[in-house]
Chains A and B, each alone.
Chain A
Amino acid sequence: NAGVTQTPKFQVLKTGQSMTLQCAQDMNHEYMSWYRQDPGMGLRLIHYSVGAGITDQGEVPNGYNVSRSTTEDFPLRLLSAAPSQTSVYFCASRTFRGVDQPQHFGDGTRLSIL
């Protein structure tokens, strides 16, 4: 059971480059989300989706785009990378089946912007 899979695990970009962080889950979870983790800041929500075709902003959405064309995949796009986006990015998913289900996380993408 793979759970939440993120690729790549590591990436170095130059300022202004674009890239897509991939996230896939095989648990048929309705909800998916992206967080960034910075030292001393905890995990902060970037974007989230409650189902295919539906996305919404979290608390730090600027500079990031998302789409949800399938239940399984939720890619995060950086259109023009900036040094402030150097961080560790985590994707998470949860089901709405049952009351109060926890989010399950992938192992992250470590992104450095030079």
Chain B
Amino acid sequence: GESVGLHLPTLSVQEGDNSIINCAYSNSASDYFIWYKQESGKGPQFIIDIRSNMDKRQGQRVTVLLNKTVKHLSLQIAATQPGDSAVYFCAENSGGSNYKLTFGKGTLLTVNP
């Protein structure tokens, strides 16, 4: 079946470094992608999104890259801070009337001071 997966389940970085979290998707019909951050005991928090007609989108300290040729999505966090420590999920919307999001299993980002 179609699924969204992550290459790395855990990522540990030093404070101030840049972080890159990767995500692979298999549904070629997906046209909208979202990155969420989930801190312990909290719900997923929207970070940034991108439509399939774009290759790159930037936010505040975050950039999402979309490579449709290899069905790959990445989240780049610049100057990673301890407050960035969390689980990061990618999600894809394959379209259709149910607006269903398919989530990956998440990557745990740990920022070391």
Q: How large is the interface on B (under 10, 10 to 19, 20 to 34, 35 or more residues)?
A: 20 to 34
Q: A-side binding surface: helix, strand, loop or mixed?
A: strand
**A48:B105 contact, CB within 8 angstroms:** no
B105 and A45 contact, CB distance less than 8 A: no
Q: What number of residue pairs across chains A and B have CB atoms under 8 A from each other?
A: 54
Residue A90 lies at the interface, judged by CB distance under 8 Å to chain B: yes
Chain A: minimal CB distance from B77 (Å) = 18
Count class of interface residues, chain A: 20 to 34
A31 in the interface, Cβ–Cβ < 8 Å? yes
Asked if B99 contacts A48 (CB within 8 A), the reply is yes
Contacts of B32 in A (CB 8 A): 100
- Contact: A107 with B101, CB < 8 Å? no
CB distance from B64 to the nearest CB of A (A): 12
Judge if B98 is at the interface, Cβ distance under 8 Å: yes
Contact present for A90 and B43 (CB under 8 Å): yes
Shortest distance from the beta carbon of A106 to any chain B beta carbon, whole Å: 5
* Cα-based distance from A43 to B34 in the complex (angstroms): 14
B residues contacting A by CB (< 8 A) are 31-32, 34, 36, 41-46, 49, 51, 89, 91, 93, 97-101, 103-106
A–B pairs, 19, beta carbons within 8 Å: A6-B43, A41-B105, A42-B104, A42-B105, A43-B44, A43-B89, A44-B103, A45-B100, A50-B99, A56-B98, A58-B98, A92-B43, A100-B31, A100-B49, A104-B46, A105-B44, A107-B42, A108-B42, A108-B43
